[in-house]
Structure 1
Amino acid sequence: MILLDMTIVNVALPLIQEGLDFSESGLTWVVNGYVLTAGGLLLLGGRLADVFGRRRLLLTGVVVFAVSSVVCGAAVAPWMMVAGRFGQGAAEAIAAPASLGLIALLFTDPKERTKALGIWGGLVAVGGTLGYVISGVLTDLTSWRWIFFINVPVALVVFLLLPRMVGESRMVREEDHRLDVTGAITSTAGLIAIVYGLLQAAEHPWGSATVLLPLLAGVCLLLAMLVVERRAKNPLVPLEFFANRTRSVINVASLFFMAAFISYTFMLTLFEQHVLRYSTLQTGLAYLPLAFGIGAGIGIGTALTPRLGVRAVTAAGFIGAGVGLLLTSMVDTDTSYVGGILPGMIVFGVFAGATMPAATTAALHGVTVQDSGLASGVQTTMQQVGGALGLAVLVTLALRYADDEMERGVPAEVAVTSGYVLAFRIGAALMILGGVLIMTLFERVNPELRDPTAEIVEETR
């Protein structure tokens, strides 16, 4: 439900703009408001889950998400829609780290935990992918408002069932309850400033003050956070957390993954609607093979990870997904869906899905119960920042390349398609680079032989 709403608006953006009278620049906040808030607050959400309880934070996030969805669906003015999207982003920052932290603790057997983490990661990925499908169907058959109202019954079911099925998990001593407020403020503000600057680059030159000032401010704030975290008694993000090489590498690779993934789906949507003239319904349904491919890949990755190891499965998945993007980059203005789009989509989906169980296991490698929420928050933050980077950088490169081509006299549709092709190839390079880093720098992580939470479960009992 949460990740679905990061992508569900894309197909419906033209209808939202028309219905609420958004300006061109204002419309970007329907996407940016969600990404900025979620990416900026995820680290704080992870630590809050560790301190105040994962079930409590998950329930709180679900309620906030439902209320914010109602605000978006009932919006009668642009400010109301943007406010609701900020609320949804904050809800993700609260709920997503808590949910992953609970999964890591509820399943004590290493094999079962690998399956559970694979399902969790798979639902996240499928939810994001199905956003395009559901958006196309609902906007075509009913109204764009139902892409938000559909969250309410889902949230209600979770709110009613979760307290009966899951116990509270809070393994922080009373004297450790104090939060590092200064670290939270500097890290959150720094991430928001950097993501904001990257998103502004989609509309302004890289050397403009609109882009450079927030980027520089974000870097300064993150440097200040490092100083604060080094001196804090109970830091929000202990610097020792990044000493684990496997966790550090997978978080960098996650940034590459989401930069390629989000920009791929975003630009493929534009290509299908603007160049191939697909309707919103056709665009949405065209993503069904991607969802099925991801689901199949998750099953494959879950089965192979205990046998081949986290490093081999994750690296192969990244490289294979890069090959899928290269296949997609063969499209042109006359391409067909079956011969041009579908092959790359299936290859990309299967290999991307195969990485998810192993990548999630790597992100939690060696994590204690006190830091499980933090670990998931760091991973999800990198994914959000990667998605924002992909939209801000790759889309910008595609549009600018298309403008240059048109200035040379190339027909508009051909020029736009060549811009998308360039971005697909850059995304492929990022995926392959991530796979190489994983293969080169990962430690040995075998979920059959290693159980980082066994002593935690015993302590809880």
Structure 2
Amino acid sequence: MSTVNSSRASEGAGGPRADAPRPEPDPRRWWALTLLCGLQFMILLDMTIVNVALPRIQDSLGFSESGLAWVVNGYVLMAGGLLLLGGRLADFFGRRRLLLAGVVIFAISSAVCGAAVNQSMMVAGRFGQGIAEALAAPASLGMIALLFTDPKERTKALGIWGGLVALGGTLGYVISGLLTDLASWRWIFYINLPVALVVFLLLPRLVAESKMVRQKGETLDVAGAVTSTSGLVAIVYGLLQAAENPWGSASVVVPLLVGVALLLAMLIIERRAKNPLIPLNFFANRTRSVINVASLFYMAAFISYTFMLTLYEQHVLGYSPLKSGLAWLPLGFAIGAGIGLGTALTPKLGVKLVAALGFIGAGVGLFLTSMIDTDSAYLTGLLPGMIVFGLFAGATMPAATNAALHGVTVQDSGLASGVQTTMQQVGSALGLAVLVTLALRHAGDEMMNGVAPEVAVTAGYALAFRVGAGLMLFGGVLILALFERVSTELRDPTAEMLEKAAH
């Protein structure tokens, strides 16, 4: 989104025409990219590195399992809820300034998490890390537009940037296992500090400040961002409270009602805002709306799967954090293979069919995982479902990105990409709130009937996996039923944003 706005500013300020000679590239650009990639890798790593350490964090700080969900949800709610505002802030006040602010907030929040002595301190730190990502990520991407004006170099830079997603996600589990097993879970947060310090000291030497030229009367939609994020936090809080309280209790009903009221207020604000974060007519396109709804189901199932299977491995099967981290490696490889398969098949089979089959196949993988019991073997009980789930989930990604851009102009591709990312983060938070609550309630009912705790907990996880499988299958059916005809030509939203901004 930030790069789109910068392109508008360039045009409005009498910027160079598309056929004008490109300026000489900045000789420091590759060093700057290395630094930005290091920062992005650190941020991506922190999204997954916490998962393997969750049982140790739970034991150390006394979290309940519903409360433990906030260690993940605090991060994704802030990162997703404030992402679009972060892009606008970068445009208004300067990308380098916002990125450095994000680095400082990330370092402070990481130190708070590492030094946490109670639950509130940990959750507050994770909220801070999510806010930092919402500030830093759009600003980082906007800088690439200014650093790499040659299309071939930009493609190479984007390839390096995009490769960090899979690498950070896979290595997060392993690094978390190593640090938690050999040192302490606190070091998964402390390792961020030297990286943040290097970026803070070197970035001003490598990247010049840049920001958009604002039009008269152009303002930030802060009210829309605050009401949407606050509403989501309230709803997630209410859903998690339902794990330990009756549905009709005030501790559940009040936050749910407040959350709904805030989201309704956000819709009114967005309808009336002069420069809304998300223009409501963006959702008039049926295919874009369907894939964004399906993304909620996708991430709800995905994040809940990794969250609960990690707890199952360590609490029920007795895996060490290191063994648990290594156990996730096949998932990363399967997702990578699936992305390659989806990229190859989409031009041949079409976006609609590949996306739908990916959702349905991932649902089958979750159903296989739901067959677990208290003494499941890794090779026969966990690995088959993990490989099937990862392969089909990965295959869905290229087609889903294409669908999210259906009918979008280059000028609005940043908005489309930002909305998709936001929906994924929101889906992660809601999925944890609903499915973890479901698993805990079922386990509690089983124990009241005299079932052994480990058997009851395993049954709760298995039920949640089956519900996640149902969400995936439902998403696949929605795609088959409601998608319009989508071009099979794969499009890269980031490349389109940068191509526009470079001119």
TM over 0.5: yes
Match of 1:291 in 2: 332
For the residues of structure 2 that align with 1:268 and 1:455, how far apart are their CA atoms?
37
Match of 2:367 in 1: 326
Measure how far apart 1:339 and its partner are.
0.9
1:341 counterpart = 2:416: no
Match of 1:407 in 2: 448
1:40 counterpart = 2:81: yes
Greater shift in the superposed pair: 135-144 or 308-317: 308-317
After superposition, what is the alpha-carbon deviation per residue over 1:219-263, rounded to whole angstroms, capped at 9, x for unaligned?
A: 112212222222222222211111122221111111101110111
1:422 counterpart = 2:443: no
Q: Which TM-score applies when normalising by structure 1?
A: 0.86
Give the AA of the match of 1:432: L
For the residues of structure 2 that align with 1:157 and 1:368, how far apart are their CA atoms?
38
For the residues of structure 1 that align with 2:431 and 2:280, how far apart are their CA atoms?
27
Does the aligned pair in 2 maintain the 1:172–1:370 contact within 8 Å? no
Match of 1:142 in 2: 183
Measure how far apart 1:322 and its partner are.
0.8
Greater shift in the superposed pair: 26-35 or 253-262: 26-35
Does the aligned pair in 1 maintain the 2:110–2:192 contact within 8 Å? yes
Match of 1:268 in 2: 309
Greater shift in the superposed pair: 36-45 or 336-345: 36-45
Per the alignment, in what secondary structure is the counterpart of residue 219 of structure 2? coil
After superposition, what is the alpha-carbon deviation per residue over 1:371-392, rounded to whole angstroms, capped at 9, x for unaligned?
A: 4444333222222221122222
Measure how far apart 1:443 and its partner are.
2.8
1:379 counterpart = 2:420: yes
Measure how far apart 1:332 and its partner are.
1.8
Judging changes above 3 Å, is the alpha-carbon distance between structure 1 residues 130 and 86 closer, same or farther for their aligned structure 2 residues? same
| Unmatched 5+ stretches in structure 2 | 1-41
Does the aligned pair in 2 maintain the 1:321–1:349 contact within 8 Å? yes
1:302 counterpart = 2:374: no
1:64 counterpart = 2:102: no
Judging changes above 3 Å, is the alpha-carbon distance between structure 1 residues 459 and 160 closer, same or farther for their aligned structure 2 residues? same
Q: How does 1:127-276 map to 2 (within 5 A)?
A: 127-155=168-196, 173-175=214-216, 177-276=218-317
Does the aligned pair in 2 maintain the 1:22–1:78 contact within 8 Å? yes
For the residues of structure 2 that align with 1:123 and 1:269, how far apart are their CA atoms?
23
After superposition, what is the alpha-carbon deviation per residue over 1:80-112, rounded to whole angstroms, capped at 9, x for unaligned?
A: 433322210111222344556778999999999
| Unmatched 5+ stretches in structure 1 | none
Match of 1:359 in 2: 400
For the residues of structure 2 that align with 1:404 and 1:258, how far apart are their CA atoms?
27
Identity value in percent: 80
Judging changes above 3 Å, is the alpha-carbon distance between structure 1 residues 22 and 214 closer, same or farther for their aligned structure 2 residues? closer
Does the aligned pair in 2 maintain the 1:38–1:89 contact within 8 Å? yes
Give the AA of the match of 1:205: P
For the residues of structure 2 that align with 1:263 and 1:331, how far apart are their CA atoms?
15
Does the aligned pair in 1 maintain the 2:67–2:240 contact within 8 Å? no
After superposition, what is the alpha-carbon deviation per residue over 1:30-57, rounded to whole angstroms, capped at 9, x for unaligned?
A: 3343234334323422443455566654
For the residues of structure 1 that align with 2:343 and 2:197, how far apart are their CA atoms?
30
For the residues of structure 2 that align with 1:298 and 1:355, how far apart are their CA atoms?
7
Give the AA of the match of 2:246: P
Match of 2:14 in 1: none
Judging changes above 3 Å, is the alpha-carbon distance between structure 1 residues 113 and 205 closer, same or farther for their aligned structure 2 residues? farther
Greater shift in the superposed pair: 436-445 or 101-110: 101-110
Question: What count of residue pairs does the alignment treat as equivalent?
Answer: 461
Judging changes above 3 Å, is the alpha-carbon distance between structure 1 residues 283 and 196 closer, same or farther for their aligned structure 2 residues? same
Measure how far apart 1:160 and its partner are.
7.5
Does the aligned pair in 1 maintain the 2:288–2:404 contact within 8 Å? yes
Greater shift in the superposed pair: 398-407 or 141-150: 398-407
Measure how far apart 1:326 and its partner are.
1.2
Does the aligned pair in 2 maintain the 1:183–1:228 contact within 8 Å? yes
Judging changes above 3 Å, is the alpha-carbon distance between structure 1 residues 458 and 291 closer, same or farther for their aligned structure 2 residues? closer
Match of 2:437 in 1: 396
After superposition, what is the alpha-carbon deviation per residue over 1:162-220, rounded to whole angstroms, capped at 9, x for unaligned?
A: 78998888667523641123323322322222222233333333222212212211211
Measure how far apart 1:341 and its partner are.
0.6
Greater shift in the superposed pair: 316-325 or 395-404: 395-404
Per the alignment, in what secondary structure is the counterpart of residue 243 of structure 2? coil
Match of 1:30 in 2: 71
Give the AA of the match of 2:315: H
Does the aligned pair in 1 maintain the 2:82–2:229 contact within 8 Å? yes
For the residues of structure 1 that align with 2:382 and 2:194, how far apart are their CA atoms?
34
Does the aligned pair in 2 maintain the 1:229–1:236 contact within 8 Å? yes
Give the AA of the match of 1:180: D
Greater shift in the superposed pair: 393-402 or 73-82: 73-82
For the residues of structure 1 that align with 2:247 and 2:201, how far apart are their CA atoms?
48
CA RMSD of aligned residues (A): 3.6
Does the aligned pair in 2 maintain the 1:115–1:357 contact within 8 Å? no
Judging changes above 3 Å, is the alpha-carbon distance between structure 1 residues 446 and 52 closer, same or farther for their aligned structure 2 residues? farther
Judging changes above 3 Å, is the alpha-carbon distance between structure 1 residues 203 and 449 closer, same or farther for their aligned structure 2 residues? closer
For the residues of structure 2 that align with 1:112 and 1:304, how far apart are their CA atoms?
27
Match of 1:280 in 2: 321
Max radius of gyration: which structure? 2
Greater shift in the superposed pair: 108-117 or 428-437: 108-117
Match of 2:15 in 1: none
Q: Which TM-score applies when normalising by structure 2?
A: 0.79
Does the aligned pair in 2 maintain the 1:101–1:376 contact within 8 Å? no
Give the AA of the match of 1:414: V
Per the alignment, in what secondary structure is the counterpart of residue 8 of structure 1? helix
For the residues of structure 1 that align with 2:468 and 2:482, how far apart are their CA atoms?
21
For the residues of structure 2 that align with 1:299 and 1:108, how far apart are their CA atoms?
27
For the residues of structure 2 that align with 1:65 and 1:275, how far apart are their CA atoms?
34
For the residues of structure 1 that align with 2:158 and 2:392, how far apart are their CA atoms?
17
Per the alignment, in what secondary structure is the counterpart of residue 334 of structure 1? coil
